[in-house]
Structure 1
Amino acid sequence: MLTAAPKWLIERPIAHRALHDLKQGRAENSIGAFKAAIRADYAIECDLQISATGEPVVFHDSNLLRMTGETGNVCDFTPDELNKFKLAKTDDGINTLQKHLEKMAGRVPVILELKGLHGRHKDLVEGTAAALRNYDGQVAVMSFRPEICQHFATLLPDIPRGLTAKGDATHHETHARHMIDFDLQFISYDVNALPHPTTTWLQQERIPIITWTVKTPKQVELTRNWADQMTFEGFDPDTLPQPDVNLDEFGISVF
């Protein structure tokens, strides 16, 4: 039998890689983007990669090139070395999960996506659990790799765990098996695949459904019709009209 994640997970829109906007000097997954999300009272989704010391850092890609212009893999550098690399030419460097949690101080929920790295899953899970062990805020973890969440459950079983997923209807059996076998409590699904047999089934089971990544009026409508909450980017969800208003006519308010 499936167990649902707590309701706080879907109470507020979730800022994808925090509330980033390069026009305002805020890079994705940066301390500045976290602060902006906190000011706007949005939940935060962010990504975790493993550093050379085993301490998780808040960063999406496995390599440095796209966000810093530097060469090399994140896992080959220490947190101190990574902090010297500036994100998208802003003032923020790459920071540890611990540093981000200290800045958040439990003021908004955070959903952590653990990125799998072959041979380092154990280190990433244990490093994340160590950072969260004394954290009092609302936090959940998720991954495309359900075995990562399964390992995490052995360390901090009270923290909600979810599956990040995508794919057409042919993937339903695999997704359903993962949700049941790995005791996952919510799902974060590719909005462009909705409606989907997996999310329809989970709605019937009252399991929270989050979409990613919502950027357009059509994707907002898909979320409203087939899910519980959005992971958004590039607009302010609090400015959106009620569901009976045509979003294409209204337009999306960008930052």
Structure 2
Amino acid sequence: MNQPLKIGHRGAMGHVAENTLESIEKALDLGVDGIEIDVHLCQTGELVVYHDFTLERLTDGTGEIAMKSLDELKSLKINGQFEIPTLLEVLDLIDKKCMLNIELKGLGTAFEACKSIQLYTEAKGWTFDDFVVSSFNYDELKTVYNINKDIHLAVLTESDIELATNIAQSIKAKAIHPHYFLLDHNEVKYLQNSGYKVNTWTVNAPEAIARLTSYGVDGIISDYPDRL
């Protein structure tokens, strides 16, 4: 049985604050095959790496991330100590050591994500195989598909695998990223036989990791990639 890819969720958020350079560094230290991060477009046009649409849960700031300039965001602290990174800072840190799964969270993120991927494939020695772009926002995925057919797409779902496969078909996605509750052995085989990689999230309990591994999933996204 093949071992699934070890993918760190928002870096290694079980160990260090999510979506920070320090968390990504920890995931690299743990020998991951891939890292999953979330991106939003801030007011000044940069892609920043952050999960929520608002700042309250993790930072000393308030309000919507999309309404803040990069300077304003850089002045905030996550858990009192970490900076909100940009996508480019994350790319420079990873430096082709593993695959990067960029989840498009905020609106209008597709164009800038494509621009960044294009830059790093053309000028920095990355390949399109080093990237996966995923989202629950299927319009953003369609925008990526319309801009650059070489970018590998993954459709996220936590409720409806059939809808996800229909979307995947329309944008020639490489993968489906279902919540692990949706999966059993037959579902995984069906998706793989339909031509999709199956990377599932967010799997932390050792017994769940063992079960998903036995189903033959292609990748497991976990807060604790050292458990994979």
> Smaller-chain TM-score range?
0.7 to 0.9
| 1:28 CA displacement | 0.5
2:17 and 2:155 map into 1 onto residues whose CA distance is 26
Aligned partners of 1:175, 1:55: CA distance in 2, in Å?
A: 29
2:84 and 2:218 map into 1 onto residues whose CA distance is: 31
- For 2:20, the aligned partner's letter is S
Secondary structure at 1:33's aligned position in 2? Answer: helix
What RMSD in Å do the two structures reach over aligned CA positions? Answer: 2.0
Listed one character per residue, the Cα deviations across residues 62-96 of structure 1 (whole Å, up to 9, x for unaligned) are: 00001103211100111121111111122x21111
Confirm or deny: 8 A CA contact 2:6 2:225 kept in the other structure.
Answer: no
Task: Quote the residue 2:62 is aligned against.
Answer: 71
Runs of 4+ residues deviating >4 angstroms: none
Consecutive unaligned residues of structure 2, counting only runs of 5 or more, are none
- Check conservation: 1:211, 1:230, Cα contact below 8 A: yes
Aligned partner of residue 236 in structure 1, secondary structure: helix
Aligned mate of 1:149, from 141, 150, 155: 141
Hey, what's the Cα distance between the residues in 1 that align with 2:158 and 2:119? 33
2:101 is the alignment partner of 1:111: yes
Residues 191 and 222 in structure 1, CA contact (< 8 A), matched pair in contact too: no
Tell me the TM-score normalized by structure 1: 0.78
C-alpha separation between the residues in 1 aligned to 2:185 and 2:137?
A: 20
> Which is greater in Rg?
1
Change (3 A) 1:54 1:67: same
8 Å contact from structure 1 (residues 57, 94) kept in 2: yes
Q: How many residues align?
A: 217
Give the structure, 1 or 2, with the largest relative contact order (CA under 8 Å, sep 6 or more). 2
Percent identical: 25
Q: For the residues of structure 1 that align with 2:28 and 2:59, how far apart are their CA atoms?
A: 24
User: Structure 2: how far apart are the matches of 1:147 and 1:174?
Assistant: 14
Q: Write the distance in 1 (CA, Å) between the matches of 2:59 and 2:225.
A: 24
Structure 1's 66 and 148: CA in aligned 2 closer, same or farther, altered over 3 A? same
Q: Is the 2:156–2:164 Cα contact (8 Å) retained in structure 1?
A: no
Query: Which residue pairs with 2:223 in the alignment?
Result: 233
